[in-house]
C-alpha cells in the first residue's frame, strides 16, 4: 500500500507460479500500479497473511 495504490495477491499464487518472495512482492506492487521495487520504499506499507485452502470432496454418486 502506498497512498491510494493497493495490490493483493493470495498466498497460493506464489506457489502456483513458483515465485520466490521477491517475485511475489514485485508482482503485487505491479498489480497496485507501483514500481516493482516499491516494496522496499519507506513510504510503502506491506501487509501479509496466511490462507487455509480447502474444498469439498467430490461425491461418489457424481462419479457414476
Could you tell me the CATH number of the domain that includes residue 23?
3.30.1490.150
**DSSP tag of 56:** P
Is 26 inside any structural domain? yes
CA atoms within 13 A on the CB side of 14: 17
The pLDDT tens digits of the residues spanning 19-32 come to 999 999 999 999 99
3-60 confidence digits (pLDDT tens):
999 999 998 999 999 999 999 999 999 999 999 999 999 999 999 888 888 888 776 6
Q: How many domains does the chain have?
A: 1
Q: At 1, list the grid cell.
A: 500500500
The answer to whether residue 42 sits within a structural domain is: yes
38 lies in some domain? yes
Range of the domain at 21: 1-52
**61 in any annotated domain:** no
Amino acid at each position: 500500500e502506498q497512498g491510494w495504490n493497493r495490490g493483493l495477491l493470495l498466498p497460493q499464487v506464489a506457489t502456483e507460479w513458483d515465485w520466490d518472495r521477491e517475485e511475489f512482492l514485485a508482482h503485487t506492487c505491479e498489480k497496485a500500479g507501483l514500481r516493482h521495487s516499491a516494496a522496499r520504499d519507506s513510504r510503502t506499507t506491506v501487509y501479509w497473511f496466511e490462507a487455509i485452502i480447502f474444498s469439498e470432496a467430490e461425491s461418489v454418486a457424481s462419479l457414476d
